[in-house]
Amino acid sequence: MAMVRRIVMILTELPRQFRWSYVPPLMVYLAAGISGLTAIVGTFFVKDYLNLSAGFLASLGFWAGLPWALKMPLGHLVDLIWKHKNYMVFLGAGVIAASLLIMYGLIAHTASMANILPVESWYVMSVILAPVGFVVQDVVADAMTVEAVPEYDKDGAAYSDAELKNMHTTMQTLGRFAIIGGTVLVALANVILFDGADSLDENAKIQLYGKIYLYALMIPVLSVIGVIIAGFTHQSHNNNIRLSGDISTHRQPDVNWSILLGSLVFVVFSVSLGLTNFVYAQEIVFAGSVGIILFLMNRLVALLPHNQRLMIVGTAIIVFVFRAMPSPGPGLTWFEIDELLFDEQFFSVLSLIASILTLLGIVLLRPFMAHNSMAKIIVILSIAGAVLFLPSISMYYGMHHWTSSLTGGVVDARFIAIINTAVESPLGQVSMIPLLAWIAKNAPAHLKATFFAVFASFTNLALSASALGTKYLNQVFIVTREVKDKITNDIVTTADYSELGFLLITVAAIALILPVGTVIIIQHSRFRTTD
C-alpha cells in the first residue's frame, strides 16, 4: 500500500505544480511532438518507392540534424530581440508548412513533381526544410520556458533557490511531457487512419498517404496558436508588473558578433560543402561544428563560478556521448516490414504504447531525475538500453519462431515487439531533463536563451555524430530492401538482410561500452559531476 500511495503522490504532484504561464511554450513543444504524424507514412513511402540506400539515408540524417547544432546564432538573436522573439515562430511555421506541402506533392502528384526535379531531390529538400523550421521554433520555446517560471510570487517576494529549481524541473518535465503527449495524439490518429490500410490497393494507399501530409499542416498552426496565447499572457503579466513595480530580470545583452558572424560564415560554409560531392564534406562540417561550439561554450562557461563551470562541462560531455551512439539505421525497420510483416497500423500501435508509457515514465522517474546525478542516470540508461536491444537481435535470428511454437502462437514477433516497446519506451526522454533544468536555473538571467542554444547545439551535435556513426556502420554492413519504381512498378533493388544481425550486435555493444566508459573517465577527473 505504501508503494501505491507513493506512486499516486508522484502522479498527482506534477499537475499540482502546473501554472498557466507554462501553456505557450508547451503549445510549441506539443506541435513538435505532433510532427511525428508523417513518420510512418514517410518510412513506407521511402522504403517502397525511393531508391535510396540505408547509408545514404543515414548520411541525409546528418544534414537534417545539422540545423539543431546551429542554434547558437538563433539563441543569441532571441536574447537580442527578446520582446519580439515570438515572431520567429511564424517564420518556422512557414518553413514547416513548405516541407509538408512538398511531400504531399511528391506522394500525390509524383509524375508532375518529377518533371521539375528528380523525386529523390524533392525528398531531400523536404527532409532538410523540416528541421530548419522546428529549430527556429524550438529556440524560442526554450526561451519561453525561462520566461514562464516566475522569480517572484504574487506578493513580490523572491522564490528560494530550491523553489526555483523545482519549478524549472517541473517546466522542463512538462516540456518533455508535451512533446511525448503530441506523439500520443499522433499514434492514436495513426491507429485510426491506418485501420484497414493493409487491404487497400496501391492507389488508395497513396491517396491516404497524401491526406496524412495535409492533416499534418495543423502542426505549424498549433505553434502559432501558442504564440498568440503567449501574447495575451504577457500582456496580463505586464499589467500586474506595472502595478507592483518592474521586477523583470531580463536585460538586453551586448551584441556578440563572434557568435552571429562566426555562425553565419559556418552556415554558408556548411551549405556550400553540402551542395558539392566532396567525399568528406560531412566530416569537415562536423569537425568545424565541434570547434565552433566548443569555442562558444568556453566563452559562456567562463561567466559561471569555477565549480559550476567544471561540472557543466562534465555533464555536457556525458550527455553528448550518450546521445552520439549510432543506431541500426532504416535496415531494422525494413526487416520488420518485409520479414516480420509489421504493417502501418501495427507500427502505429507500437508508437501509441511507447508514447503513453513514456509519459507515465517521465512522471514516475521525475524523483529519480531530481535526486540523482547525470552520471548515474546515463549509466543506468545505457545498461538498460543494451539489454532491451536484445529482443531485436534475437528476432533477427528467429527466436520468435521458437517462442511462438512453444506458446501456441501467442508469443510471436508482434507480442515480443509490444513487450519490448512497453519496457523500453519510458527511458527515451530522461537524459536531457536534468541538463535543461540546470541551465534554466544557473545560466545568467540575460543570457538564458544563449546558454540554452549553445549547450543544446552541443548535445544536439551528438545526433549528427550518431548519424555519422550510423552511416559508417551501414557502409560496413550492407542492408538492402526491395524497391519498385513508383511510376513503372519495376523492381530496381532486391532485398538482402544477411548482414543485419552483425549490424545489430555491433550497435548494442557500442551503445553500452562507450557511455559507461565515458562516465567512469569523467567521474575520475576534475569535471566530476554531482548535480
Whether the predicted pLDDT of 366 surpasses 50: yes
What local confidence, expressed as pLDDT, does residue 214 receive?
Answer: 92
What local confidence, expressed as pLDDT, does residue 241 receive?
Answer: 44
Choose the weakest-confidence range: 33-37, 304-308, 519-523: 304-308
Identity of the amino acid at 97: A
At 520, the pLDDT band (50, 70, 90 cuts) reads very high
**Which residues does 296 contact at the CB level (< 8 Å), separation at least 6?**
72, 258, 259, 454
Mean pLDDT of 34-43: 87
Best-predicted range by mean pLDDT among 91-105, 149-163, 402-416, 423-437? 91-105
What local confidence, expressed as pLDDT, does residue 245 receive?
Answer: 40
Whether the predicted pLDDT of 507 surpasses 90: yes
Distance of CA 489 to the CA centre of its chain: 35
The DSSP annotation for 439-469 comes to HHHHS-GGGHHHHHHHHHHHHHHHHHHHHHH
Choose the weakest-confidence range: 45-49, 241-245, 311-315, 487-491: 241-245
What local confidence, expressed as pLDDT, does residue 1 receive?
Answer: 56
What local confidence, expressed as pLDDT, does residue 281 receive?
Answer: 83
Mean pLDDT of 474-488: 81
Where is pLDDT greater, at 95 or 281? 95
Whether the predicted pLDDT of 68 surpasses 80: no
Choose the weakest-confidence range: 99-113, 244-258, 425-439: 244-258
Choose the weakest-confidence range: 91-105, 121-135, 229-243, 457-471: 229-243
Whether the predicted pLDDT of 259 surpasses 60: yes
What local confidence, expressed as pLDDT, does residue 76 receive?
Answer: 72
CB atoms within 10 A of CB 108: 16
Choose the weakest-confidence range: 58-67, 382-391, 396-405, 430-439: 430-439
Share of residues in the chain with pLDDT > 70 (%): 78
The DSSP annotation for 364-389 comes to HTHHHHHHS-HHHHHHHHHHHHHHHT
What local confidence, expressed as pLDDT, does residue 100 receive?
Answer: 94
Grouping H, G, I as helix, E, B as strand and the rest as coil, residue 236 is: helix
At 309, the pLDDT band (50, 70, 90 cuts) reads confident
What local confidence, expressed as pLDDT, does residue 23 receive?
Answer: 76
What local confidence, expressed as pLDDT, does residue 242 receive?
Answer: 46
What local confidence, expressed as pLDDT, does residue 69 receive?
Answer: 64
Distance of CA 347 to the CA centre of its chain: 19
Q: Which residue shows C-alpha cell 524533392? A: 122
What local confidence, expressed as pLDDT, does residue 52 receive?
Answer: 81
At 217, the pLDDT band (50, 70, 90 cuts) reads very high
Where is pLDDT greater, at 104 or 263? 104
C-alpha span between 169 and 157 (Å, rounded): 21
At 461, the pLDDT band (50, 70, 90 cuts) reads confident
Mean pLDDT of 354-368: 73
Distance of CA 277 to the CA centre of its chain: 28
C-alpha span between 337 and 291 (Å, rounded): 40
Best-predicted range by mean pLDDT among 197-201, 345-349, 422-426, 431-435? 345-349
Query: Cell digits for 162?
Result: 530550491
Task: Give me the domains of the chain, ranges plus CATH numbers.
Answer: 19-239+252-485+493-523 (1.20.1250.20)
Contact 45, 481 (CB under 8 A): no
Q: How many CA atoms lie within 13 A of 33 on its CB side?
A: 29
- Residue 270's closest CA among 290, 246, 300? 290
